[in-house]
Chain A
Amino acid sequence: MQAFLAFADHYSYVITILLMVGGLYIVVSRSNMVKKLVGLSIFQTSVYLLYLEPAKIVGGTAPILAPDFTVYSNPLPHVLILTAIVVGVGTLALGLALVVRIHEAYGTIDDDEIKPQDGG
C-alpha cells in the first residue's frame, strides 16, 4: 500500500520519465530518419511535462488579482514551455526538411542505406 501511494504521488513524473527514456531510445535504435525525429519529438515533449507538473496546482487559476480567487498557479513555466515548443517545432521542421533533401540526394531515408552509398 505504501509503495502504491508513493507511486500514485509521483504518477506524472513516472510517465514523464517513461516518455523521456522511450523517446531517446527510439532516436538511438531506429535508422529510419523520420522515426528518429519522432523519437526526438517525444523526448522533447516529455521535458515540457517536467516543467509543467510542478507548476500545476489543483484548483489554481491564473494569477489575477480578484477577491474570488485565492489559489494561483505559477504562469512562468507555461510561458517557458511555450518558448520551448516553438524551438521544438522549429527543430522538427528543419529536421524534416533535411530528410526531404536527403531523400532527393540518396533515394532513401534510412541511415544504414546511406552509409554504403558514400563508400562507408
Chain B
Amino acid sequence: MEALWSHLPALQIVIPLLGGVLVALVRRGSLAFALTLVVSWVLPVVSGLLLYQVLSTGPISYALGGWPPPWGIEYRVDVLNAFVLMLVSAIGAIIMPFARRSVALEVGERRSAWFYCMYLMCLAGLLGVAITGDAFNAFVFLEISSLSTYVLIALGRDRRALVAAFRYLIMGTIGATFYVIGVGLLYVLTGSLNMVDIAQRLAVAPPEQARAMVAALAFLTVGISLKLALFPLHSWLPGAYAYAPSWATVFLSATATKVAIYLLVRFLFSIFGGALDLRSLPVAEILIALSVAAMFIASFIAVYQSNLKRMLAYSSLAQIGYMMLGIGIANQAALTGGLVHLVNHAIMKAALFMAMGSLFYRVGTVRLTEIAGIGRKMPLTMGAFVVAGLGIIGTPGTAGFISKWYLAVGALDRGWWVLVFLLVASSLISVLYIGRVIEMAWFRPAADGLAEAKDPPLSMLLPLLLLAAATIYFGIDTRLTAGIAGEAAQFLLGGLR
C-alpha cells in the first residue's frame, strides 16, 4: 500500500492510458463502456488523494522511471495542478454515466468502443498536461489529447463534424507547433526542459537574453492561446462544439480549454513571472483587451445563433474571456476569480451541454425554433438548464456569481472601475441568450412534434441534476472551490518578480 501511495502521480496517467488500450482491445460496446466507467471513477480517487497530500504536506515531486529531475521527466504536483487534476477527473467521473445512451445513439453501438478509447486517451493527455513538470512532455501530452479530440469531434453524426475536426486539426497543430518553438527557444537559452529548473535558470539569466525570452514568451502565449480559444484565435471552437457528439462536447467544454488555461498560467506565472518583469511588458494589457473583446463579441454572436449547441459554444468563448481577465488583472482576488471560474464554468457548461444532449436524445434537435414549450415536457432537463443558465449569467446564489464577484473585487483593487462596469454589461448580454431559450422552452405552447417528449432516463438525468445542484451549492459554500483557488493564486503570485 505504501508503495502504491508513492506512485500516485504515475497512476493518474497510466490508468487512463492502459484503460484506453484495453477498451480498444475489448471492442464490445457495453463492456467497453463498463471499463471506461471504472477508469473514470477511479481517477478522482487518485487525484483526490494527491490533492489531500499536497494540501497537507506541500508539493510532490515524482521522478518518472527513477531518473532524478532535472535530467529525467518529473511529475510535479502543487496546489495549482492538483486543483486542475481534481477538476478534470471529477468532471469526467460525473458525466460518464450520461455517455452510454447518448453515445450509443449518436456514435452507434458498433463504433462506441473506439469512441471510449479516444475519450480515455484524451483524458490521459489532459491529465498529463496538468501533472507534468517537463515542458516538452507537456507538448506530447497536449498532442495526445488534441489528436484524440479531433477523432472525438469527427465521430459526430453531421458531415460538418468532419470539416470542423479538420479545421481544428489545422489550428490546433499550428498552436502546438508555436508551443514547441517557444519551448525550443527556452531550451536553447537554459539547456533544460524541467519547468522548475527553467524558471531558476531564467531568473539568473544575463540581461542580453531578455529579448530571446520575450520571443519565447510570445510564441508560447500565442500557441497556448490557440489551444484555449482566446479571442481572436477561437475560429475552430464553435464548429467543433456544435457538431461533435453531444457527450464529447460536454466533456471538451468542461475540461480541454481549462487545461490549456492552466498551462498558460503555469508559463506566465511560474516560469516567466520570476525571470521577466511582466508588468513592463504589455502582457496584461493584451490579455485584458482580448478578454473584454471575447466577453462582448462572443456573447453578441451567441444571441443570434439558432443552433443551441453553437450558441453555448460562443458562450464558452465569452466565459474563457472571464477566466483570462482574472489572469490579466493578476492580483490575489482576480486570479482567484479566474481560477475558480475554471471549476464553476466547467460545472455549469457541462450541465448546459448535457441538457442539450438530453434534448437531442429525446427530440432529435437542438434548434431553438423547434423546441417551443419543451419545458413542460421535459421539466427536469430544462429546469437544470435554467439553473445552470442563471449560473452563466452570474445570478447571486449560483457559482457564476462567485467568480464574477472575485473578478470585480480584483478589478476594484486595481482601481479599474471601467472593467467592473464591462463585467456587468457583458453579463447582461448573457441574460439575452439564456433568456431566449428559457422563454422559448417555458413560455410557449408546446410544438406539435414534441408530444412524445419526456425527461431522459435516469442515467442521463442524474449527472445533469447533480451538476445543476453543484451550481447552486458552489454558489453558497465556496470553501472547496474558492478556498483552493485562493491558495493557488497566492502560490502563483508569490513566484512573481
A, B from the same assembly: yes
| A50 x B170 contact (CB < 8 A) | no
The reply on A32 being an interface residue by CB < 8 A is: no
Chain B: residues with Cβ within 8 Å of the partner, total of 26
| A90 x B147 contact (CB < 8 A) | yes
Distance from A61 Cβ to chain B, minimum over Cβ atoms (Å): 19
| B177 x A95 contact (CB < 8 A) | no
* One of B173, B184, B193 near A44 (C-beta < 8 A): B173
Bound-complex Cα distance A27 to B193 (A): 29
> Given A40-B170, A80-B136, A87-B143, are A47 and B165 neighbors across the interface (CB < 8 Å)?
no
| Chain B residues with CB below 8 A from A47, complex form | 177, 180-181, 184
Chain B contacts to A: CB under 8 angstroms: 136, 139-140, 143, 147, 150-151, 154, 159-160, 162-163, 165-166, 169-170, 173-174, 176-177, 180-181, 184, 187-188, 193
Distance from B227 Cβ to chain A, minimum over Cβ atoms (Å): 14
Which residue on B lies nearest to A117, using beta carbons?
Answer: B159
Bound-complex Cα distance A39 to B145 (A): 22
| A40 x B166 contact (CB < 8 A) | no
Which residue on B lies nearest to A80, using beta carbons?
Answer: B136
| B166 x A43 contact (CB < 8 A) | no
**What 1/0 mask marks residues of chain A from 70 to 87 whose CB sits below 8 Å from any chain B CB?**
000000010010011001
Bound-complex Cα distance A47 to B223 (A): 14
* One of B174, B187, B193 near A24 (C-beta < 8 A): B174
Bound-complex Cα distance A36 to B136 (A): 26
| B150 x A98 contact (CB < 8 A) | yes
Which residue on A lies nearest to B146, using beta carbons?
Answer: A91
| Given A95-B173, A102-B159, 12 additional A-B pairs, CB 8 A | A40-B173, A47-B184, A50-B181, A51-B184, A83-B140, A84-B139, A90-B143, A91-B143, A94-B169, A98-B165, A102-B166, A106-B159
| B166 x A99 contact (CB < 8 A) | yes
Chain A: residues with Cβ within 8 Å of the partner, total of 29
| A95 x B181 contact (CB < 8 A) | no
| Chain B residues with CB below 8 A from A20, complex form | 181
Distance from A87 Cβ to chain B, minimum over Cβ atoms (Å): 5
A-B contacts, 12 of them at CB < 8 A, read A27-B174, A43-B174, A44-B177, A47-B180, A47-B181, A77-B187, A87-B139, A87-B147, A90-B147, A91-B143, A102-B166, A118-B159
Which residue on A lies nearest to B172, using beta carbons?
Answer: A91
The 4 closest A-B pairs by CB, nearest first: A105-B159, A87-B143, A98-B166, A102-B162
| A95 x B166 contact (CB < 8 A) | yes
| Chain B residues with CB below 8 A from A99, complex form | 166
| Chain A residues with CB below 8 A from B139, complex form | 84, 87
| B174 x A91 contact (CB < 8 A) | no
| Chain A residues with CB below 8 A from B160, complex form | 118
Main secondary structure of the interface of A (DSSP, over half): helix
Which residue on B lies nearest to A102, using beta carbons?
Answer: B162
| B174 x A40 contact (CB < 8 A) | yes
**Which of B150, B160, B180: most chain A Cβ within 10 A?**
B180
* One of B163, B169, B184 near A50 (C-beta < 8 A): B184
| Chain B residues with CB below 8 A from A95, complex form | 166, 169-170, 173
| A54 x B188 contact (CB < 8 A) | yes
Bound-complex Cα distance A94 to B180 (A): 20
Bound-complex Cα distance A47 to B176 (A): 11
| B177 x A94 contact (CB < 8 A) | no
Which residue on B lies nearest to A27, using beta carbons?
Answer: B170
Which residue on A lies nearest to B171, using beta carbons?
Answer: A27
Which residue on A lies nearest to B166, using beta carbons?
Answer: A98
> Given A27-B170, A98-B154, are A87 and B140 neighbors across the interface (CB < 8 Å)?
yes
| Chain A residues with CB below 8 A from B181, complex form | 20, 47, 50
Which parts of A19-46 form the interface with B (CB within 8 Å)? 20, 24, 27, 33, 36, 40, 43-44
Distance from B224 Cβ to chain A, minimum over Cβ atoms (Å): 16
Distance from B320 Cβ to chain A, minimum over Cβ atoms (Å): 23
| Chain A residues with CB below 8 A from B143, complex form | 87, 90-91
Bound-complex Cα distance A24 to B174 (A): 8
Distance from B301 Cβ to chain A, minimum over Cβ atoms (Å): 15
Bound-complex Cα distance A114 to B151 (A): 20
| B166 x A33 contact (CB < 8 A) | yes
Bound-complex Cα distance A106 to B169 (A): 18
Distance from A10 Cβ to chain B, minimum over Cβ atoms (Å): 13
Which residue on A lies nearest to B188, using beta carbons?
Answer: A54
| Chain B residues with CB below 8 A from A77, complex form | 187
* One of A40, A44, A94, A114 near B150 (C-beta < 8 A): A94
Distance from B143 Cβ to chain A, minimum over Cβ atoms (Å): 5
> Given A50-B181, A95-B169, are A101 and B162 neighbors across the interface (CB < 8 Å)?
yes
* One of A36, A54, A94 near B151 (C-beta < 8 A): A94
| Chain B residues with CB below 8 A from A27, complex form | 170, 174
| Chain B residues with CB below 8 A from A101, complex form | 154, 162
Bound-complex Cα distance A100 to B322 (A): 39
Which residue on A lies nearest to B154, using beta carbons?
Answer: A98
| B163 x A114 contact (CB < 8 A) | yes
